[in-house]
Chains A and B, each alone.
Chain A
Amino acid sequence: MSILILAEHNNEEVKSSTLNTISAASKLGNEIEVLVIGNNVDNISKEIANYQYVTKVLLLDDQNYEHAIAEKIEPVIVSIADNYSHIFAPATTFGKNVMPRVAVKLDVAQISDVINIESEDTFIRPIYAGNALATVKSNDTKKVITIRPTSFDVIAKEGGSGVIEAINFVSSENYTEFLDREESKSDRPELSTARIVVSGGRGLQSADNFKLISDIADKLNAAIGASRAAVDAGYVSNDYQVGQTGKVVVPDLYIAVGISGAIQHLAGMKESKIIVAINKDEEAPIFNVADYGLSADLFEALPQLSSELDKLNSIEK
């Protein structure tokens, strides 16, 4: 059983999602080959060749592949797919963009967002934004799978001794042209991967009051989130939304402030390791999932929290 993994990188560094995906593959087989497609990615291929479990790196290094255009990557994978029983990619916007194309060209179903591997053909994946878990068995000869990175540990970056093999591919005409990319340059961590998330809900009452949330987030080096109600009310833009219709986050600490805990919000954060809820309404459903609940007026509690965090920081310094 040989597994192909599509590496995610930005031509300069390997994305951690690649390490999680290799980790997932290691549960199934010991022939793990990683496909690196990009421009000037010699170093990337060398780095990955050293990773734990990696037996081979396939390298396609060409300026044509500078930007991860799904229509260009898919035919490369399809051209070598015969050699593998499983093809894995991370379930990030990168992997999600490419893999369904590979699946349909091979005429197999894709299994998306796998969180657990039961056997070579049976996998567990969340459905209904994690409100249910589906154990599914693929009856296709080849399995095309995306892996939810946060569900698998990262592998060691050394210990492997993969061989590097350059491959060639002649691409056909393409109708998609990359223009530019605007990476969020916030000093704060990215919402979907942040270790701490502080989220505000309708209880904040205004866009202005979200300052109270950002103040706490600054002190904890946290990302800022919001409930759909807060987004709908126009307090913050939709890219802050945590929930079934927004982002699913799994931080070590999730602080929900003035959020009642609608089902659709819980779906986006209830896998967090520690959940704190601050809400005036003692009966709010958010308290049912919170490890620590504080029934208090957020307009009093947040300034207090801010000064308690200051004290803590000054003790440490």
Chain B
Amino acid sequence: MKILVTVKRVIDYNVQVRVKADNSGVEKENVKMSMNPPDENAVEEALRIKEAGKADEIIILSVGEEKCQETIRTALAMGADRGILIKANDDIEPLSVSKIVAKIADNEQPGLILMGKQAIDDDANQTAQMTSALLNWPQATFASKIEIEENTAIVTREIDEGLERIKVKMPFIASCDLRLNEPRYASLPNIMKAKKKPIDIKSVEELGIDVRPRIENIKISEPPTRQKGVMVADVAELVQKLKYEAKVI
């Protein structure tokens, strides 16, 4: 079985995101970029499934600009086998990405597609569900546990009320929650080895998919800032303030 894993290059989660002065977007120049955190969980899960002898190849797919190769290399250094980069504009919408993933799935015929549940830049939380609908494969979103059996899998999902377990037929698509696993760090020898692993680069035009945007960004603005409050002298004063000034306890 092949596993297809999607990874997105995003601003590192530790970076303070700054809105550009002209409200056209956020500052991406000279900003540390990393793999989207739940995508790391997706890569890790694929590796564990392969290590358990239930998969033979892990393919990493990224959609975006040339530099997404670095993100693919990170996944290859973790242990994935080969990469595919579909070159496209950086702000390509989830609707278009899902069409690309579905197309690659048609070509590669994986038994499982793993994705992060959400990208921490646009926070859309859409691509896995859309891809599932396009392929007519079962979806297991917000997965915190994946148990692969013969032709089915049991997936534990993180839902607002707690946990839910579903059984899905293979092939299926899972969107991975941060609780799924603890992603490994790439070792130095593996980083060296990853440099020789193949990455197939194609443009989105070659795939023949319409990726024209449907949504216009009118403006990107700073959220309202909080006023800095007061320092209290001790716990007694704090409790008084909460009780009689803020009236929240």
Contact = CB atoms under 8 A, between A and B. Distances in A.
Interface of A: 10, 69-71, 74, 92-94, 96-101, 103-105, 107-113, 122, 125-140, 175-185, 190, 192, 196, 220, 237-239, 241, 244-246, 252-253, 262-264, 270, 273-276, 287-296, 301, 304-305, 308-309, 312
A177 B140 CA distance: 11
B207 interface: no
Given A111-B215, A176-B166, A305 B235 contact: yes
B218 interface: yes
Interface residues of B, number: 79
A109 B162 contact: no
Given A100-B127, A293-B229, 4 more contacts: A71-B139, A131-B17, A135-B219, A177-B166
B7 to A, nearest CB: 16
A126 B11 CA distance: 16
Given A94-B160, A176-B138, A276 B242 contact: yes
Given A109-B94, A113-B123, A196-B249, A92 B160 contact: yes
The DSSP consensus for interface residues of chain B is: mixed
A245 B178 contact: yes
A108 B96 CA distance: 10
A126 B120 CA distance: 11
Contact of A183 (B162, B217, B223, B243): B162
Contact of B215 (A71, A137, A175, A289): A137
Nearest to A176: B138
B141 A179 contact: no
B129 A179 contact: no
B95 A104 contact: yes
Given A103-B130, A179-B166, A301-B235, A253 B248 contact: yes
B164 A97 contact: no
